Amino acid sequence: MKTVFLLAACASILCVALICLFLFANGMPAIGRIGFVNFLTGAEWRPGNNLYGIWPMILGSLYVTAGAIVTGVPVGVMTSVFMARFCPRRLHAILSPAVALLAGIPSILYGFFGLVVIVPAIRAISGGSGKNVLSASLLLGMMILPTIISVSETSIRAVPESYYEGALALGATHERAVFFSVLPAAKSGIMAAVILGIGRSIGETMAVIMVAGNQAVVPDGIFHGVRTLTANIVLEMGYAADLHREALIATGVVLFVFILLTNLSFSLVVRSKNT
């Protein structure tokens, strides 16, 4: 069994290594031909004119991800606290399957919901088409909820009951014992939930395409359309060729490195807080 487990672990590592090899082998030459600075900071994406600047898509991904964090993380964490420490058993028996069902809904259905419900609501408030940063942020905030709720609830329930009982013995109320004793003890698991949510929001494509506007320009605000890195790849990979195709793969390299840096940053933050 040790050999079986070792082979399974090696297979997982091999998959990651092959993905890295493919991306960097096919993307780095394009970055070298376009120019590292021009590729990352260029404000124009016009493949017909050999202009391959992905700065608008980088900003679009950052804006949409930040909006999803602002809208999804507080709701998800508070929901997990309620389900772990405040929710009656009968209600929990209803909420838990509902959260699981929310995680199983396909992305395209989220996109339809955003297109039919969120976009018209934003259009009524701000005017325009309604397909903008705010619409994409609200939709992604909904999509990352099940990940954050499930992982955070598991982390909160894993905290030893002695932490809660000790806080009560010192005179804390139920609420103070939960928020000032149990919740800080579960911070590493909650941070892991946030990282998974960020990864989900950064990598989401189909739902974002339907509500973000897909404009390859630097957004002027939350009511302007954007194109994310993933959307840029999906929209143009079907007909891209030569340098255009290599530039799209290089976009995937940037996305991959961005996710790695995000995970590394959160890991360093958690380690510094634990020490």
Give the tens place of pLDDT for each residue, 160-202.
Answer: 999 999 999 988 899 999 999 999 999 888 888 888 888 888 8
Structural domain boundaries enclosing 148:
2-274
- Number of domains comprising the chain: 1
Total-model pTM = 0.85
Torsion of the alpha carbons at 116, 121, 122 and 123, rounded to the nearest 10 = 80
The CA distance from 7 to 5, in Å, is: 5
Ramachandran bin of 159, using left for φ above 0, alpha for ψ from -120 to 50, beta for the remaining angles: beta
pLDDT tens-place string over residues 72-118: 999 999 999 999 999 898 999 999 999 988 888 888 999 999 999 99
The CA distance from 258 to 125, in Å, is: 33
The CA distance from 88 to 72, in Å, is: 23
CA 115 to chain centre: 20
Q: What is the CATH number of the domain that holds 67?
A: 1.10.3720.10
pLDDT score at 140: 92
Residue 66, classified by CB atoms within 10 Å of its CB into exposed (0-12), middle (13-18) or buried (19+), is: middle
Both tokens of 178, joined, read 């939960």
